[in-house]
Amino acid sequence: MKFKQGDSIDVQHCAALQHEFLRCHDAYIDFVTVATSTIAVGDSSLSSYRMFNAYARFLHHLYEFMVGALVREHGDTSVATKRGAYTLIERYITGHAMRLLKNKREAIERAQVPGWQSALAGLPASVPADFAAEFRKHRNTMAGHVKYERASLKLSEFFDRFQFFMFILYRDCYSWWGRTGGVIPDLGEITRFSVLVRQQAGSLQTGQTP
């Protein structure tokens, strides 16, 4: 479906984008919390499980947010589902990562504060050609679909190679779509869901949690 910025579809799409990025942010905070605790007190099977899950959610929601942003840029809800759309999505993600890396390098070069050369040398020279493809692959295997490959997927290698690019994408998105003043905005039916849950609180059942 075609739409234009400011029309009713766009307003709803923006609410969905906001929601998706807030989920991405929540997942990243969960990941950092578990990782920080693990560094302080040591690893366990439970912390490893929770750390993997949090990072998988972060990766999944960031990927979906980027796809949603691409849809809005094109003004077409079907752009991400057409045959071969993954190549367009990968070009879009790579393009954004390249722009952010270029901006960061240029900011360091302009500032030239003490240590600027070391800071510049510490940045990647370019975005790896396989970044977006690996991003999609790990999103699909870790969180998008149930695949046997999940048990052998080396997430640590992805993190080692690509976390810098994941983080700059996340921070750039946060500057536009993060919470304003720490407040969750009105997201329509998304934020009205709690009304019904409160009315039917007696029907809730909880399982044992570790």
Q: What's the token pair of residue 16?
A: 């969905």
| Alpha-carbon span 54 to 166, nearest angstrom | 14
pLDDT tens track, the chain, 210 positions: 999 999 999 999 999 999 999 999 999 999 999 999 998 988 899 999 999 999 999 999 999 999 999 999 999 999 989 988 999 999 999 999 999 999 999 999 988 878 888 999 999 999 999 999 999 999 999 988 898 998 998 999 999 999 999 999 999 999 888 876 667 777 877 777 777 677 776 676 665 554
As a whole number of angstroms, the longest Cα–Cα distance in the chain is 62
pTM, entire model: 0.87
3-state secondary structure of 147: coil
Residue 79: CB atoms within 10 Å: 18
The H-assigned helical ranges of 2-145 are 8-41, 45-74, 85-111, 116-121, 131-139
